[in-house]
Amino acid sequence: MKELTKTLATIQTELKAKKSSYNSFGKYYFRKSEDILEAIKPFLLKHGVYVTVSEKYLEGNGVPIMESVATISDGKDAIHATSIVGVDLNQKGMQTAQQFGAASTYGKKYALGNLFLIDDTEDADATNNHGQKSNVVNKIKEAAKPIMTKTQFDKAKEYIQAGGKLEAIEAKYKINTQHLVDLKKVNNEQKADITKA
């Protein structure tokens, strides 16, 4: 598992996924799951790993939910990241299949983003402000963040030690106070090491 964790940290540090789509209404570029998958491909053979995304339909209090799980594996060990997205059945101008498709696409993007620590803070759904609707979206995105486990905490420490950004981790996980204090300490030590070098 240590080798796979190291490989994932390397990919997280080097991966650059372009924003190939443009929203003319909000006047912003945004990234799709396809952009992330395209950016990952050069790393797969190089590091001897593969990536999959699986989906599962759930239901919570009558609300349809899509759970997406992104997995990286070397054939022996595997690391997973999950995202949960509600299906908006009241979305105007969309048929039911399109509503589920939109939730599926959104869920895949965030599962992959969680796995590869892709920071979407500059993406439109994080920055544009269409009134109260954006506040609801932000609350949903915050609630959908997975709670950081001990294993993810250890990987996050390795990621920061490899030069990764603490902000990217904070954007993807709910972090308990003690873990956050420890990660900030590692982050400060990393910055100090860079300054000395």
Share of the chain above pLDDT 70, in %: 84
DSSP class of 70 = E
Q: Which residues pair with 73 in a beta bridge?
A: 50, 78
- Phi and psi at 53, nearest 5°, equal -130, 125
Q: 125 and 165 share a domain?
A: no
Q: 118 and 156 share a domain?
A: no
**The tokens 């954007």 sit on which residue?**
171
Q: 177 and 136 share a domain?
A: no
Query: What range defines the domain where residue 26 resides?
Result: 2-146
Given 146, 162, 187, the domain boundary residue is 146
Q: 133 and 162 share a domain?
A: no
- Round to whole Å and give the CA distance between 192 and 153: 21
Structure confidence by residue, pLDDT tens digits, 59-80: 777 778 889 999 999 999 999 9
Residue 22 CB neighbours (<10 A): 11
Mean pLDDT of 96-103: 86
Question: Is residue 42 predicted with pLDDT exceeding 90?
Answer: yes
Look at residue 126 in the predicted model and tell me its pLDDT: 46
Q: 97 and 43 share a domain?
A: yes
Look at residue 14 in the predicted model and tell me its pLDDT: 92
Q: 115 and 159 share a domain?
A: no
Q: 141 and 151 share a domain?
A: no
Please report which confidence band the pLDDT of residue 19 belongs to, taking 50, 70 and 90 as the band edges.
Answer: confident
Look at residue 40 in the predicted model and tell me its pLDDT: 95
What are the residues whose beta carbons fall under 8 Å from the beta carbon of 39, sequence distance 6 or more? 15, 16, 17, 18
| Under 8 Å between Cβ of 56 and 67 | yes
Mean predicted lDDT score pLDDT of the chain? 82
- Phi and psi at 141, nearest 5°, equal -65, -40
Question: Is residue 139 predicted with pLDDT exceeding 70?
Answer: no
Q: 52 and 112 share a domain?
A: yes
Please report which confidence band the pLDDT of residue 122 belongs to, taking 50, 70 and 90 as the band edges.
Answer: very low
Mean pLDDT of 132-145: 58
Mean pLDDT of 92-118: 88
Q: 6 and 51 share a domain?
A: yes
**Two tokens, residue 178:** 């003690």
